[in-house]
Structure formats: C-alpha cells, structure tokens
Amino acid sequence: MGDPAYEEITREHPCYNKAAARWFGRIHLPVAPDCNIKCRYCTRLYDCANENRPGVTSHLMTPGEALQHVQRLVERDRCIRVVGVAGPGEPLANKATIYTLRLVHRRFPWLTKCISTNGLLLTESLPTLREAGVRAVTVTVNAVSPAVGSRIYDYVSYRGRVYKGAAGAELLWQAQSGGIRRARESGMVVKVNSVLIPGINDHHLEEVARAVKAAGAHVMNIIPLIPQGEFVGLLPPPPERVNLLRRKLSPIIDQMSHCRRCRADAAGRLG
Ligand code: SF4
Ligand code: SF4
C-alpha cells in the first residue's frame, strides 16, 4: 500500500490484514440500535450492513456494560487489538457510540478503535470520532447512482426530513463520498463494504469501486447479499461470482476476501 499511516494502523487489524487475522482479534460492542436510513435488505433483527449471521440476534449493551465487557475480554484474551461499533443499527445515529468509544479509549488507549457506518453523518462526526480514538472507518456503499440507489434504499432521514427514492440515494452518496474523503484527509484508514445484490447492483459495483477509490478508500469488501427484508425473494450470489467480481475489481481497488460477516457483538479472532 506504501502508506505509513495505513501500515501502522492495519498491522494488527484482523479485517484489513489477512495475515494479522491469524493472531489478532477484535471486539464489536452492540450499543447502537437506531438507524437513519432504510436499506431494503435489512430487517434490523440482525446486524447492520449485513455484518451478521442469519438467525442470530444481538443483544444491546449500555456504554458502561460495554466497557466492562472490553475489560473482561482483554484480560482473558491477549489477542484483542481492535474495538469497534458495527450496529446493530447505524453507529453514528446513536449517541451511545461516541460515549462508549470515549470510555474505551480512555481506559485502553493502545487498542485501535473502529466503526462501521452508512456514512450519512460521517463528515460531521469526524472530530468526535478522532477524539474518541477512532482510526479505522468502514462505510457501506451499495450504489453511487441515484437510480440504482433508489432500488436499494427505501428512505434516508436527515436533519428532520425524510428523502425517498433517487433524492435519498443521491443525498446518501454525497454524504458518503464527502465522509470518505474527509476521513482519509484526517489520517484514518477507510474500508468500503458493498453488498452484492443480484439484479440490482451487480453490474454497478465496478462504478462503485472507481468512485470510492477516487474518494480515497483504501480497500473494498464485497459482501454477498443475505436475502431478507424486501429482498427475501432474491437468490444470494454464488461464491464463484463473488470471487470473480473481486478479481475483476482488484486492479481498481484492493479487495478484502476474508470477511466473516461478524455479528455486532462478535469477539475474538475472526470466525
Ligand atoms: Fe439496516 Fe444498517 Fe441499512 Fe440501517 S444502515 S437499514 S441498520 S443495514
Ligand atoms: Fe472484519 Fe468483516 Fe468481521 Fe467486520 S464483518 S469485523 S470487516 S471480518
């Protein structure tokens, strides 16, 4: 990658560094139940951005419980290097996210703090995220075209207004691209998750790859759809198709291939 900040932050981060995943682990803290958009594949029974395993529902923690949870796990398991918030809703739509990360950062400044977000509030959250020690951000970008996005997002709720259809999708992508750019400028590492939705955005992900690379993302993680919500009738893409697409897009932006679609309360080494 040739970027010293990237090398330093990802050296022991199991999601950005496949080799590190053998030795180092992460903790997800399920403190964020609310969301500010509606993805048509989401039932909210599971975790945000398809970072889930079907049939498993996360329980919520308060910030205080989350801190105690980190304390217990770090004492028990010396592999922990990363603490993140990835749901079960949208981390940045919940005040508990920053509060929790601040508590954890104060007590464990050496652990890397991480969030996974839909990006709608990323730019305005960056100062508080930095103050809470966040150095790695994942933004879920499923579409950069309003026409495609309008088939994926039912609505986007921003500053007291609800945006439907192409207007919502356009607003979301503008916020995501600005957030990715500003997160990069502020020295964070940025991963993009893209849910591969057959018949909806499969032929669009090359455009997504180019756009997120241009905005400054370091790596892309293509996640096969788990059919649920309004997309329950779609078939999940077969693994060969996902791998083929990763190979096709890897000259545009580095591809992650070892994502385990973890729950919002996952802990330890991946898998
Ligand atoms: Fe569900 Fe996450 Fe989409 Fe919100 S951003 S609707 S929690 S998948
Ligand atoms: Fe890492 Fe993927 Fe698990 Fe997120 S869902 S913690 S990116 S392996």
Report the complex ipTM.
0.88
In the predicted model, what is the mean pLDDT of residues 207-215? 98
CA of 153 to the centre of ligand 1 (A): 9
Residues framing ligand 2 (Cβ under 6 A): 15, 26, 51, 259-262, 270
| pLDDT over 90 at 208, yes or no | yes
In the predicted model, what is the mean pLDDT of residues 106-130? 96
Asked if residue 24 belongs to a domain, the reply is yes
Asked if residue 166 belongs to a domain, the reply is no
CA of 156 to the centre of ligand 2 (A): 25
Least confident of 49-53, 73-77, 194-198: 49-53
Position 56 confidence tier, pLDDT thresholds 50, 70, 90: very low
Q: Is the CB of residue 48 below 6 angstroms from any atom belonging to ligand 1?
A: yes
**Closest by alpha carbon to 35, among 163, 128, 121?**
121
Asked if residue 149 belongs to a domain, the reply is no
Q: What's the pLDDT at 19?
A: 78
Q: Which domain holds residue 201?
A: 4-143+178-268
Asked if residue 165 belongs to a domain, the reply is no
Q: What's the pLDDT at 49?
A: 56
Residue-averaged pLDDT of the chain: 90
CATH of the domain at 114: 3.20.20.70
Q: Which atom of ligand 1 is nearest to the CA of 88?
A: 7
Please state, in angstroms and rounded to a whole number, the distance separating the CA atoms of residues 108 and 97: 16
Asked if residue 71 belongs to a domain, the reply is yes
Asked if residue 164 belongs to a domain, the reply is no
Number of domains in the chain: 1
